Chain A
Amino acid sequence: MIEARLQKQLHGAEGDIALDLTLRLEPGRITTLLGRSGAGKTTVLRMLAGLTRPDSGRIVADRTVWFDSREGIDAPSQSRRVGLVFQDFNLFPNMTVEGNLRFALRPGQDSRAVAELLETTKLSRLAKRHPAMLSGGQKQRVALARALVPEPRLLLLDEPLSALDEEARVELQEELLRLHERRGFTALLVSHDRAEISKMSTAVLTLRDGRLVP
């Protein structure tokens, strides 16, 4: 269970927004975060991942405090064990597909996790290729597999499919659901696509004027 109370003042192109929200992510479920562009969805994900510091609030993951402004606790991203899939993939260009996945292994983690994920995501035949030689859909599949290698407590998906064409998007949605069924991870997905939301998620949170509305 991930519980967060987050406050953050945002200065966007369309004016200031005071983010003030409380969210609860049920274990093993995919929750979607919905909201118009510039509403602060990515900032919420970044705060959960430890990349952006909330002005105040508290984040607790399975009784471990990640952030508490009163107690002065702010666990670094490295120790939160969060997976984040970016819209623009963010694969390491200097590493092969396999190298990207290997880099994600935790110290002491069995390296068979890499082979298993390559197999599950049908990336084995692309293992020796560099990201520059992959299509958008393949890149995002690698990004998803890489994020899952360290077995994250929480998987954050920041519009991971929005840059892909229809065919690749549907294929990856199926892939994501298959992986979720097999691994049962907790995920927070940012998406604009209504069909995608109804297909992928079991709960929807809407972010409007800095607050979550039912």
Chain B
Amino acid sequence: MVIYFSIERSVKSMMDTDFWPPLLLSFRLAASATVLLLALGTPLAYWLALGKSRLRPLVHAVVSLPLVLPPTVLGFYLLLSLGPASHLGRWIESAFGARLVFSFGGLVIGSVIYSLPFMVHPIEAALAALPTSLAEASCILGKSRWETFWCVQLPNIRPAVLAGVVLSFAHTIGEFGLVLMIGGAIPGRTRVASIAVFNAVEAMDYGTAKRYALVLLAVTFPVLAALELYRRRSTQAF
């Protein structure tokens, strides 16, 4: 009986219109950041793994910064550089009519920077480990660098790309400090699930915090497990 009422109360609370927006925002943010990271991180990883520039160690260090810097520090720098008091922030506002701080766009930019190493590092390592003779074999067959990348290199590092996607998505879902710094906690705009959990705990509303945590766990764990299984199967196939 107690369990029944407890479940009923939980379900009722989940039907509350205020419950879902932070979760939906979290998934929208993670999906947007992951798509952008895939588009930007793959060429960057290629350049870091196979390029010849002397700047590569420097760029590699910059990409890796989010691994060691506290998210709040990154968030603070982004707040300063994208805020209305900065030249960049003013230019973006005048050129695109958009203010990035305390907006979803700002959260996406912050998330892309914050999760960049999680996309770039696995792809970079896989490309560096792929025998160069495969690309050479393709070049000798008359194929351009783009055809070689698209038809030979990318399909053979598919498990690493998938790992990058999974890690970036999961990392963005779980981010807190950076999001709070540049987005605040504006309901419906920047209040993502991790902040909603924090707000609920702060308000001693442990029930709501538990429900947010449960939904996050219930959605992310099976996705991660399925992708990991697929990644392992793909690795074995090669």
- Footprint of B on A, CB under 8 Å? 49-51, 76-84, 86, 88, 90, 92-94, 103-104, 106, 130, 132, 146, 149-150
- Assess whether A90 is in contact with B156, with CB atoms less than 8 Å apart: no
A211 to B199, CA, bound (A): 78
- Residue interface bits B116-150, CB-to-A below 8 A is 1, else 0: 00000000000000010110111111111000000
- Assess whether B133 is in contact with A94, with CB atoms less than 8 Å apart: no
- Assess whether B133 is in contact with A92, with CB atoms less than 8 Å apart: no
CB closest chain-B residue, reference A152: B140
- Assess whether A103 is in contact with B151, with CB atoms less than 8 Å apart: yes
Residue B155 interfacial (CB < 8 Å):
yes
A103 to B139, CA, bound (A): 11
A90 to B238, CA, bound (A): 13
- Selected contact of A49 from candidates B131, B140, B143, B151, CB within 8 Å: B140
A149 to B152, CA, bound (A): 18
Residue B237 interfacial (CB < 8 Å):
yes
- Footprint of A on B, CB under 8 Å? 131, 133-134, 136-144, 151-152, 155-156, 158, 237-238
- Assess whether B143 is in contact with A83, with CB atoms less than 8 Å apart: no
A78 to B137, CA, bound (A): 10
A-B contact pairs, 5 of them (CB 8 A): A49-B140, A90-B134, A94-B155, A103-B141, A104-B141
User: Lowest 10 CB-CB distances: which A-B pairs, in order?
Assistant: A94-B155, A90-B137, A77-B139, A104-B141, A78-B142, A90-B133, A84-B140, A93-B238, A77-B140, A94-B156
- Assess whether A51 is in contact with B140, with CB atoms less than 8 Å apart: yes
- Assess whether A103 is in contact with B143, with CB atoms less than 8 Å apart: yes
- Selected contact of B133 from candidates A78, A82, A88, CB within 8 Å: A88
- Assess whether B137 is in contact with A84, with CB atoms less than 8 Å apart: yes
CB closest chain-A residue, reference B155: A94
CB closest chain-B residue, reference A76: B139
A88 to B136, CA, bound (A): 13
- Assess whether A106 is in contact with B136, with CB atoms less than 8 Å apart: no
CB closest chain-A residue, reference B238: A93
A84 to B136, CA, bound (A): 10
- Assess whether B133 is in contact with A86, with CB atoms less than 8 Å apart: yes
Known: A90-B133, A92-B156. 18 other contacts (CB 8 A): A50-B139, A78-B140, A78-B142, A78-B144, A79-B142, A82-B140, A84-B136, A84-B140, A86-B133, A86-B137, A92-B151, A93-B238, A103-B151, A104-B141, A130-B237, A132-B238, A146-B141, A150-B142
- Selected contact of B140 from candidates A83, A88, A130, CB within 8 Å: A83
Which residues in A have their C-beta under 8 angstroms from that of B138?
Answer: 92, 103
Residue picked from B138, B140, B238, most chain A C-beta under 10 Å: B140
Which residues in A have their C-beta under 8 angstroms from that of B143?
Answer: 78, 103
CB closest chain-B residue, reference A91: B137
